[in-house]
Chain A
Amino acid sequence: MEKLSLQAQESQLNKNRIVKRYQKSIFYKILSGLLLIAILLSVFIYSLSSGSIKISFIEILKALFAGNENSYILYNIRLPRSIGAILAGASLGLAGCVMQNILKNPLASPFTLGISHGAAFGAAMAIIFFNAGTAHSFGNESVTFFNSYFVAISAFVGAILSTIIILGLSLYKNISPEAVVLSGVAIGSLFNAATMFIQYFAADFQVSATIFWTFGDIGKAGWSENAIIAIAFMLSFIWFYFQRWSFNSLLWGNETAKSLGVSVTSLRLISMLLCAILISICTAFLGIIGFVGLISPHIVRMFIGTDYRFLIPLSTIFGSLLLLISDLIAKTILDPVILPVGIITSLLGAPLFFYMLIKRRRV
């Protein structure tokens, strides 16, 4: 009798032990998120203070709330740039995280669907055929876009066009996620060829302007661009977060997901569409920013695992942090020259990805 009672007590203790351990793991994941937010805020404040004119934290607060000689720099240059980096990084991290799930491919990233090439083609069309941009040689101000909104809209149309082709293929032939990835590569190659073709017949200054446009640059972001990115990001984030259990189910394959009540086809199509719109907007305004969308989910996964309840928000925050730090490096590494952030993200991203492959942890 006594032995049985002891076993029951042990069982009860064991029961609590497993549930408590699970709850503890959840607590640590939430703590990781809060820590990332704290780091992001610190880097954000630092990014506001750094630049050709150093501004102290107190001066930043004064400039923002009371107004002083630094207010103009902060409100018109540094704030939109840093907020742009946070929003674009968040969008790319979010889209990468979702696309790796729905396309069942760890190498899926915001550019897998050929969106960046579509956007570059659209921008090239605007610059070369509609004379929306040209290049000069006046120090840093080497490129002028006469109508940057026209270039952005044209890039957006190009990006959406590649998306429509792939979504159309998915709907018409009900192709597999693997085939979607291959179609993305093919569409990207097609748009690349088309861009090179029109560049071949363009004037030198137009080719320069086209190439300059493709450099991902957070400096292109103003308040209105940021507002548009913010709206697209918020709507997508809310929808994706509501689907977190469905994404967890989809990790186990279509049939398991269906048997757990997931409407797999519509989840995949809506997610692909939202990712495409989000990336198209970012790329149209800021140019091509590589690696953030690919690498952010992988790094987060190494620490918190594959649970999309946490992977979605943490990849988003990590994407922001990665792009903000990259932009900070881009601003300061060759001061006073400001490098396009796309160069830094690729420079940082490639070795980081190699490191993860060598470590072989959840990649």
Chain B
Amino acid sequence: MLQLSNCTAGYEGKIILTDISFSLKKGKVTALLGPNGSGKSTLLKLIDRIIMPQKGEIKIEGKNIKDFSNRELAQTIAYLPQINNALPDCSVFESILLGRKPYINSEPSIEDLHMVDYIIKKFSLENFSFRSINRLSGGEAQKVLIARAIIQKPEILLLDEPINHLDMKNQIEILKIIKEFTKKMNLSSLIVLHDINRALQFCDEFILLKDGKIFKTGDNQIINPISVKKIYGINNKCIELNKRKVIIS
């Protein structure tokens, strides 16, 4: 289990996150929600030790992440940052195989290759296996990156806005995949999302972040007109549609 206790962190002396404490449950998808600039991406980087906490500690199964070797950490946490730049000219197979890097000593074993093969089929990517990832559509490319994170066989999966710029069909498909693998592999998944209704549809737990501080954590009960108004500053209503909670503004 991942546990953050009173963590304060930032860049070059500027504090972005203050006194962050929460834990992630196994087998659950947790949505990290909050307005732009609230520190969501920084929080993922903090968990994956890309930045270090100035105060507080982060533990996985009771062990401080400072004590993990780079390889151990890569075998424990898979982190998928936002796609900001052009992707490299690698084939889908090569891109996914890279997820086995934390386990490869010299060259990939036949098991590694079969794992790639399995995940390619599971993600319905077999028709593009040897196509360059930057010649795929946004949804397909995102699926490849998630496949790589899954094949890393982590305990914790951190995804930064994985459904950004995707159409509705791809958004749903990607979140279904994440949910399925979170259950199947008993992962603790933390996903940064902007669409609160998608989060309500697919996520089990929620963390609301505002101005670098935790506003609330819990199940979907914490998503209500009052908390949404406080977090995003917009008037909204909560309705029930097909037995599902929906926020409308």
Of the candidate stretches A18-26, A43-51, A118-126, A271-279, the one touching chain B is: A18-26
Contact partners of A248 in chain B: CB under 8 A: 90, 94, 98, 101
Contact partners of B75 in chain A: CB under 8 A: 261
B155 at the interface (CB under 8 A from A): no
Contact B121–A259 (Cβ < 8 Å): no
Chain A 237-251 near chain B by CB (<8 Å), digits 1 or 0 = 000000001001101
Contact partners of B77 in chain A: CB under 8 A: 259
- How far is A19 from B87 in the complex, measured between Cα atoms in Å? 23
Contact partners of A22 in chain B: CB under 8 A: 93, 113, 116, 129-130
Contact partners of A260 in chain B: CB under 8 A: 74, 98-99, 101-102, 152
Chain A 160-198 near chain B by CB (<8 Å), digits 1 or 0 = 000000000000000000000000000000000000000
Of the candidate stretches B22-30, B78-86, B204-212, B241-249, the one touching chain A is: B78-86
Contact A305–B73 (Cβ < 8 Å): no
B88 at the interface (CB under 8 A from A): yes
- How far is A262 from B91 in the complex, measured between Cα atoms in Å? 21
Contact A261–B71 (Cβ < 8 Å): yes
A258 at the interface (CB under 8 A from B): yes
Q: From the candidates A23, A253, A301, name the one contacting B85 in the complex (CB within 8 A).
A: A253
B50 at the interface (CB under 8 A from A): yes
- How far is A255 from B41 in the complex, measured between Cα atoms in Å? 12
Contact A255–B45 (Cβ < 8 Å): yes
Contact B101–A15 (Cβ < 8 Å): no
Using known A-B contacts A11-B121, A305-B90, A305-B91, determine if residue A261 contacts B130 with beta carbons closer than 8 Å: no
- How far is A355 from B6 in the complex, measured between Cα atoms in Å? 58
Closest residue on chain B to residue A261 by CB atoms:
B74
Contact B94–A307 (Cβ < 8 Å): yes
Using known A-B contacts A259-B50, A260-B74, determine if residue A305 contacts B94 with beta carbons closer than 8 Å: yes
Closest beta carbon of chain A to B121's beta carbon, Å: 7
Closest residue on chain B to residue A21 by CB atoms:
B130
Closest beta carbon of chain A to B2's beta carbon, Å: 15
Closest residue on chain B to residue A26 by CB atoms:
B107
Contact A262–B98 (Cβ < 8 Å): no
Contact B81–A256 (Cβ < 8 Å): yes
Chain B 103-141 near chain A by CB (<8 Å), digits 1 or 0 = 010010010011011101100001001100000000000
Contact A258–B90 (Cβ < 8 Å): no
Closest beta carbon of chain A to B16's beta carbon, Å: 16
Contact A262–B70 (Cβ < 8 Å): yes
Q: From the candidates B78, B91, B93, name the one contacting A259 in the complex (CB within 8 A).
A: B78
Chain B 205-245 near chain A by CB (<8 Å), digits 1 or 0 = 00000000000000000000000000000000000000000
Contact partners of B57 in chain A: CB under 8 A: none
A105 at the interface (CB under 8 A from B): no
Closest residue on chain B to residue A252 by CB atoms:
B88
- How far is A245 from B90 in the complex, measured between Cα atoms in Å? 13
A32 at the interface (CB under 8 A from B): no
Contact B130–A25 (Cβ < 8 Å): yes
Using known A-B contacts A21-B129, A255-B50, determine if residue A362 contacts B101 with beta carbons closer than 8 Å: no
Contact B126–A18 (Cβ < 8 Å): yes
- How far is A21 from B98 in the complex, measured between Cα atoms in Å? 17
Contact B48–A258 (Cβ < 8 Å): yes
Contact A305–B89 (Cβ < 8 Å): yes
Contact partners of B78 in chain A: CB under 8 A: 259
Closest beta carbon of chain B to A101's beta carbon, Å: 10
A142 at the interface (CB under 8 A from B): no
A14 at the interface (CB under 8 A from B): yes
Contact B73–A261 (Cβ < 8 Å): yes
Closest beta carbon of chain A to B181's beta carbon, Å: 17
- How far is A262 from B81 in the complex, measured between Cα atoms in Å? 15
Using known A-B contacts A249-B101, A255-B50, A305-B94, determine if residue A263 contacts B89 with beta carbons closer than 8 Å: no
Contact A245–B121 (Cβ < 8 Å): no
Closest beta carbon of chain A to B93's beta carbon, Å: 5
- How far is A263 from B69 in the complex, measured between Cα atoms in Å? 10
Contact partners of A261 in chain B: CB under 8 A: 70-71, 73-75, 101-102
Using known A-B contacts A14-B121, A305-B91, A306-B89, determine if residue A252 contacts B98 with beta carbons closer than 8 Å: yes
Contact B50–A19 (Cβ < 8 Å): no
- How far is A248 from B108 in the complex, measured between Cα atoms in Å? 14
- How far is A260 from B80 in the complex, measured between Cα atoms in Å? 10
Within 8 A of B (CB), among A304-349: 305-307, 309
Contact A259–B74 (Cβ < 8 Å): yes
A-B contact list, 30 entries, CB within 8 Å: A15-B117, A15-B118, A15-B121, A18-B93, A18-B116, A19-B113, A19-B114, A19-B116, A19-B117, A22-B116, A22-B129, A25-B130, A251-B88, A252-B88, A252-B98, A253-B85, A255-B50, A259-B77, A259-B79, A260-B74, A260-B99, A260-B152, A261-B74, A261-B75, A261-B101, A263-B70, A305-B90, A306-B89, A309-B107, A362-B89
B residues at A contact (CB < 8 Å): 45, 48-50, 70-71, 73-75, 77-81, 85, 87-91, 93-94, 98-99, 101-102, 104, 107, 110, 113-114, 116-118, 120-121, 126, 129-130, 152
Apart from A19-B110, A245-B101, A307-B94: 5 A-B pairs, beta carbons within 8 A: A25-B130, A245-B104, A260-B74, A306-B88, A309-B107
